[in-house]
Structure 1
Amino acid sequence: MTIPWPDLPTAVADEIIGVLDKGVDQDWSRQAGDTAWTAWQLLDHITLAVTGYAGLLIARPDTPRYIALRTGNDRNASIPERFESIKIASTLLSHTLRVTGPEVRAYHSWGTSDAAGFSAMGAVEMLVHAHDLTRTLNLDWTPPDDLAAQVVERLFPNAPTDQPAGLALLWGCGRIALPGHAQFPRERWQWYGEVR
């Protein structure tokens, strides 16, 4: 079942917040997976990225550049408050997608994209970084196939089709190897954001 693109960011946010909440009492100052961030910094990164995608669709800069909008959390914010920020960011992106026409294009360094592409990008940020966090928090979780399938189809045209979508997403983002498909070096993976 395909989720409407405007509904995807909030559906993904609900999923990841529900999973990450199981580790709310753990130490979030630890490094998150193989990233350069601590677990709480990675939550802030998710908020910034998802809010930024809404901002790019709204501002549509006429030169290839990121927008000046910067958002983040209070360094002293609790983990539940950071979850709240992700929920706000995903809702902002969802509302922006609803009012963005199909002809609209906005800059991203990995391909000028449309509303569907930015919805998929927001989903990648949340799903893949939630996986980084669940590994750190020792929570057994993989991005659900029903949330990952259309994201993989939209942004990772070379992803394996013989694997579940959640695993294909992790492979596309350089997180795992799959049978017959070597793991991308972390610094070399990227999605294909251009409208096809």
Structure 2
Amino acid sequence: MDAITSTRTSDAQDILDSARWFTDLLLTATTEELDVPAGDVEWSCWRTAEHVGDDMLAYALQLAAQAPDDYLPLTAADGGDDVVRVAATAGTQGLATTVQALAALLAAQVGTAGPDARAFHPHGVSDPTGFAAMGVVEILVHGYDVAQGLGADIGPGRPHALPAGPAERAVDRLFDEAPATRPEASLLWCTGRIALPGVPRRSRWRWDSSVR
């Protein structure tokens, strides 16, 4: 199997490429089909996609504000943490367009923030490269969850194969303990989604977004 060897770091293009992959996956389903559980997570596929959009918005705002100590004090209408909700009447196209737009917002912020920009994340104050990597992980890993819910095959060589390049660079930035295997498999192992040969599935995990 191929080890992780990339020298390029996570960037705005990785966010856009990951979001395009995810929204293409979403567009294979109807609104009703997205109402099923997303793999092992507690949300439906639709709600999981909303959560991805919310992460894109939160990360973009963190970088824009260069908030050093906490998340910006935004609150959803229901009092929860996630502010992004997409009307079911908008259908899958509306959901996909919203997620794509919010990912583009994060990509724009990553692309314009200077290398010295810093902002809070609970797993380590981070820089634009770190926020790009975190955005990619949120998209790809929750995209995997949605694919599990839809029964979609995202393995290598498949039409909706999880993109290896963005996965590789995000793992390299955030997970020092990543195993030397295919980037997609490494990402899914690091985030507790799968086991690897001889390596059990993780029950607890976290990334390190600190600047290093």
TM-score, normalised relative to structure 1: 0.91
1:19 aligned residue: 25
Pairwise CA RMSD of aligned residues?
A: 1.8
SS in 2 for 1:190: coil
* Superposed displacement of residue 21, structure 1: 1.9
Q: Which amino acid aligns with 2:19?
A: A
Regions of 4+ moved over 6 Å:
none
Whether the 8 Å contact between 2:189 and 2:202 is mirrored in structure 1 is yes
Indicate conservation of the 8 Å contact 1:59/1:67, yes or no.
Answer: no
1:190 equivalent in alignment to 2:190: no
Q: Secondary structure at the match of 1:68?
A: coil
Q: CA contact under 8 A between 1:23 and 1:139: conserved in structure 2? A: no
1:175 match: 193
Unaligned runs of 5+ in 1: none
* Counterpart-to-counterpart distance in 1, 2:205 and 2:9: 25
Distance 1:24 1:184, change over 3 A: same
Q: 1:36 aligns with which of 26, 42, 46?
A: 42
The equivalences for 1:70-85 within 5 A come to 70-85=83-98
Distance 1:4 1:31 in 2: 30
Identity of aligned residues (%): 31
In terms of mean alpha carbon deviation, does 88-97 or 62-71 score higher? 62-71
Structure 1 residues 3 and 83, CA gap change in structure 2 (3 angstroms)? farther
Seen in structure 2, the aligned counterparts of structure 1 residues 4 and 176 have a Cα distance that, compared at 3 Å, is closer
Output the amino acid matched with 1:48.
Answer: D
Query: Which structure has more RCO (C-alpha within 8 Å, separation ≥ 6)?
Result: 2
How does the TM-score come out when normalised to structure 2?
0.85
Q: CA deviation at 1:168?
A: 0.3
> How many residues matched?
193
Cα distance in 1 for partners of 2:10, 2:41 equals 30
